[in-house]
Amino acid sequence: MMRSARLWCIGLCLAAGVLGGAATAESAVIKTVDPGHPWLGFMNVFELPSNGGGYVFGSGWGTPDLTAVFNGDVLTLGPNTIGDPATFWYQGGGGPGAPGNKIMNANMYVEDNSLAGETVTFTGVVLANTLTSAHTSVAFIKDFAPDYSSFNVTSVPLTPGEFSITMATTPAAGRHVQFGFETTGVNVWVTDVAPFGNVQVTAIPEPAAAAAIGLAGLALGIRRRRRG
C-alpha cells in the first residue's frame, strides 16, 4: 500500500509541476517557427566595414530573396545572394568567385500588431548552424514605434538546440510587434553559397504536449493506486 501511495504522489507531482508550468506559459503569447504564419521579408543594406560600414538603404524583399525558405516545417536561412553583377554589389563585378561589396541584414519575420501590450515568447529548435564567420543569424522579437523610428529588441544567436526569448511589449496604440530571424553578412554570388553554410530551424513541441505527458503520469499513478 505504501508503494501505491508513493506512485500516486509521483504522478500527482508530475502533473502539478507541468500544469504549473503551463499556467505560467499562459501569461505569455507563445509564437514558434510555423510555415503557416504570414512571413515577410525586409533587407537592410550597409557598406562593407572597409568602406565605412554606413547604412545604404532598406526595403521589403520577398522571403526567397533573403534567402529564407521553408521545406515542410524546416526553415533554412542562408547567405544573401544578388543576381545583379554591378560593381555596386560585387567587387570588380559579379560572377563566380566575385567578393560581395555590401553587408546584407536580412529580416525574415511575422508582424502581428495585436501583440502590442502582450508578453510575447518566441521559441524554436536550431537543427544545425554551419554558417562561417562571414555571417551571423539570430532569433528576435522587436517592438517598433508607430512610425518605425525606434524599437526595442531582444534576440538570441541561433546555436544548435532549443531557443526561447521573451519580451513584454509596450501597451500603446499603433505599436508594431515582430518576431523572426536576422541573417547578416556579406552578399555572395549564387554559385558560391554552399561553402558559407546555412542555418536550419523548426518548431519545438507545444506546451500542451508537455502537459499531456504530466496528465498521463497522473493517470498512471491513479491506475496503479487502484490496483494496489
For residue 14, give the 3-state DSSP assignment. helix
Average pLDDT by stretches of 10, the chain with 228 residues? 38 39 59 96 97 97 93 97 96 94 98 96 97 98 97 97 96 96 97 97 72 41 45
Residues 95 and 7 in one domain: no
CA distance 184 to 173: 31
Sign, CA dihedral 112-114-120-124, equals negative
Residues 156 and 110 in one domain: yes
pTM: 0.79
- DSSP string computed for 115-178: GTTSEEEEEEEEEEE---TTEEEEEEEEEE-TTSS-EEEEEEE--SEEEEEEEE----TT-EEE
pLDDT given at position 223: 41
Strands 176-186 and 102-111: antiparallel
pLDDT given at position 116: 96
pLDDT given at position 207: 61
pLDDT given at position 28: 83
Produce one character per residue of 121-130: b if its CB has 16 or more CB atoms within 10 Å, e if not: bbbbbbeebe
pLDDT given at position 171: 95
Q: In which domain, by residue range, is 78 found?
A: 33-205
Centre a 10 Å sphere on the Cβ of residue 105 and count the other Cβ atoms it contains.
18
> Considering its fold, how many domains does the chain have in total?
2
Residues 139 and 169 in one domain: yes
Residues 23 and 50 in one domain: no
- List C-alpha distances in Å: 212 to 22, 33, 157, 215, 217: 11, 21, 30, 5, 9
Q: Do 210 and 1 form a contact (C-beta atoms < 8 A)?
A: no
Residues 5 and 71 in one domain: no
Residues 10 and 95 in one domain: no
Residues 199 and 211 in one domain: no
CA distance 65 to 79: 10
- Supply 70's cell numbers: 521553408
pLDDT given at position 27: 65
Q: Do 142 and 185 form a contact (C-beta atoms < 8 A)?
A: no
Residues 198 and 216 in one domain: no
Residues 126 and 223 in one domain: no
Residues 126 and 200 in one domain: yes
What's the CATH code of the domain at 198?
Answer: 2.60.120
Q: Do 107 and 41 form a contact (C-beta atoms < 8 A)?
A: yes
Residues 44 and 123 in one domain: yes
Residues 196 and 164 in one domain: yes
Q: Do 96 and 191 form a contact (C-beta atoms < 8 A)?
A: yes
